[in-house]
Each structure stands twice: as C-alpha cells, then as structure tokens.
Amino acid sequence: MDQIIVQILNGLDKGSAYALIALGLTLIFGTLGVVNFAHGALFMLGSFCAVILSRILSASHEVADPTRLDFLGNPAMNKVFYVQDMFGEAAGAAIMDWAVPLAILFSIPVMIGVGFIMERGLIKHFYKRPHADQILVTFGLAIVLQEVIKYFFGANPIQTPAPDAFKGSLDFGVFLGYEANAIMYPYWRLVYFFFSAVIIAAVFAFLQFTTFGMVVRAGMADRETVGLLGIDIDKRFTFMFGLAAAVAGVAGVMYAPIVAPNYHMGMDFLVLSFVVVVVGGMGSLPGAVAAGFLLGILESFASMPVIVDILPGINQIIIYLVAIVILLTRPRGLMGRKGVMED
C-alpha cells in the first residue's frame, strides 16, 4: 500500500508538469488554431531562465589566494560573489540559495517576450496554412532554440538546486499511520505539485472571471462572431500566446531542481504533452489538465518494479496504450468539443 501511495504522489507530480505544458498547448491551439511543436522548447527555456538567473546571482570576481595553488601550480583564485559584496555575506548567500524561486519573477517577462516574438515574428504567418506546415515550422523552431541553448550552455545537464529549506524529504507515511521512512517524498516535488495547482487555478480563474478571459473564451468558441462585434481578437490571442509561453516557462523554472536542465528536455516532454492534449480533447483546457494527471499517475504505476516484472517495457508504452483505448472509445478525447479539428 505504501508503494501505491508513493506512486500516486509521483504521478501527481509528473502529471503537474504534463498538465502545465498541455494547458499551454491547448491555450495556443484553442485560440490561434496552431499546433505548436515548439512548446516543449518553451518549457526548456523556462528551466534555463533558472540557470541564467542562478548564474547572474552567482557572478563573481576572482582574488588571488597565495595560500593555495591551482592545477598548474599558480596561486589559486578565490571567487568573491558580487551579490555578497552588495548585500553582505549572509544575505548574499540567501539570495543565491533562492535563485530558483526568484527565477519565476525573472522568467515571466522573459517568456512573455519570447512568446510575443515567436508569435508576431513567425507563427502568425502560418495561421492560414495547413497544420502540417505549422508542425514543420514550429518543430524547426524548437530545434533552433535547443541548439542555441546548447551553444551557450553545453550539452551536459546543469544542476540547479532548490533552496536549502526545501532539500530533503517529508516523511509522508507518518501522517498516514505508517512507520518512519515508509513513505518519503521530496519537499520540492510537493512544492511543485502545489505550485502547479495554483498556476492551473489562476489560468482558469483568469479565463473564467475576467472580461478579457470571457472574450478569449468567446473567441475560442466562435472567432468570427467575436470579430464582427468589433473586438480585436487577434491582439488578445497574441497575448494568450505570451501567457501560454509564460505558463510553460514557470513550469520549467520550478522543474529545474527536479531534473537538471539540459538542452533536450523540451523534446522529452513534447510528445507526451501532445498525447495528453489529444487524450484530454483538442481545445479542452479541463481535459488537458485531467489527462495530464491521469497519464502521469498511470505512467508512475507502470514503472513499479512489480508491474515491470510482469509486463516488461509497459512503463514505456502505457501512455500510448491508454491513448489508443480512449481515442477508440471517445474519439474526441475525454472532454473534446465537437467540431475541433474535424473539418
């Protein structure tokens, strides 16, 4: 039983990441009608926002230390961090330690800007083109973005740790009456889950309870009629692209301590996120979130050693098997709307 609880927690955690990326994908597809294969790259860029801010905050100058020698026998250089020069040793260390949470603030304007440039500079030229063209151009863009990142940051993963306060694991089992150490779960993964829940709730609240959101939802349902009412829906949809990019970006920032950022991480999530979108129902925001969590939990269960022993390799195909079953029984996905991608 304890293993089942751990895998549910794991699944919720993975599902959080899938749901956040799928949410952005669905927002873009629902508003602009674009199948954005560069969305995984936006998630990757978000995690590199954490790396960049971490490096900015850790910027230092070197002071020769005559008591130590470097590998060539020259006096070793000690790093002196600018942030500690400015704020003192303790405060400077705390700022560097909290680089990842601070990177959320850093990433939002950066990612909105990236999204705006992507949409205005490239993707808007493909609105009226077939989906195949959109997939090709956005996939190409994803490759360009990851190669740019690799050029500047190298190919190896870069550790971007969580603040010290969130290192270690919570003994979750104790709360449920289990022995100590029976169900351990990392603090940061719990933070990630709650963070995702807040972001998802915020996006839904924005769309549900603001005038801007209401217009966007109306545009998603019937773009032409909203345009006839004199509303510049294109401008709002461009903003939604920026918002989707920011959602993917903050998801990436918070994911950085879980999996060390590397240039390829966007591609790792992209295919799964598309499966999530299709299973949830093209254009359905609640569907994307529900399918994200569902598939995350299923994937976690399928990775349990007892399951893999019985069905080797099931962990790698479970998501696709479930996708096939759902699409056979509900061709529009779990919560798909009639008419979306059916013309």
Q: Which residues are near another protein by CB under 8 A?
A: 2-3, 6-7, 10, 13-14, 68, 70-72, 76, 150, 154-159, 161, 168-169, 181-182, 184-186, 188-189, 258-260, 262, 264-265, 268, 299-300, 303-305, 308, 312, 315-316
At 306, the amino acid letter reads V
The DSSP element (H or E) to which 50 belongs, if any, is helix 39-57
- In the complex with another protein, the residue whose CB is nearer, 180 or 328, is 180
What is the smallest separation between the CB atom of 108 and another protein, expressed in angstroms? Answer: 24
CB of 138 to another protein, least distance (A): 21
**Nearest-approach distance from CB 102 to another protein, in angstroms:** 19
Distance between CA atoms of residues 192 and 104, nearest Å: 12
CB of 22 to another protein, least distance (A): 16
Instruction: Answer yes or no: are the C-beta atoms of 18 and 276 closer than 8 Å.
Output: yes
For another protein, the closer of residues 150 and 217 by Cβ is: 150
Please enumerate in sequence order all residues whose Cβ is within 8 A of that of 125, keeping only pairs 6 or more positions apart, or say none: none
Comparison of 38 and 265: residue with beta carbon closer to another protein: 265
Q: Which is nearer to another protein, 68 or 125 (CB)?
A: 68
Nearest to 193 by CA among 335, 322, 292, 54: 292
- Can you tell me the distance from the alpha carbon of 313 to that of 297, in angstroms, rounded to the nearest whole number? 17
Task: Give the list of residues 6+ apart from residue 297 with CB closer than 8 angstroms, or none.
Answer: 7, 8, 11, 12, 14, 15
Q: Give least dist CB 68 to another protein, A.
A: 7
Q: Which structure tokens are listed for 100? A: 């990842």
Question: Position of tokens 């998603």?
Answer: 220
Could you give the CA distance from residue 238 to residue 223 in angstroms, rounded to a whole number?
A: 14
Nearest distance in Å: CB 31, another protein: 30
Nearer to another protein, 75 or 227 (CB): 75
| Type of residue at 169 | S
Nearer to another protein (CB atom), residue 238 or residue 273 = 273
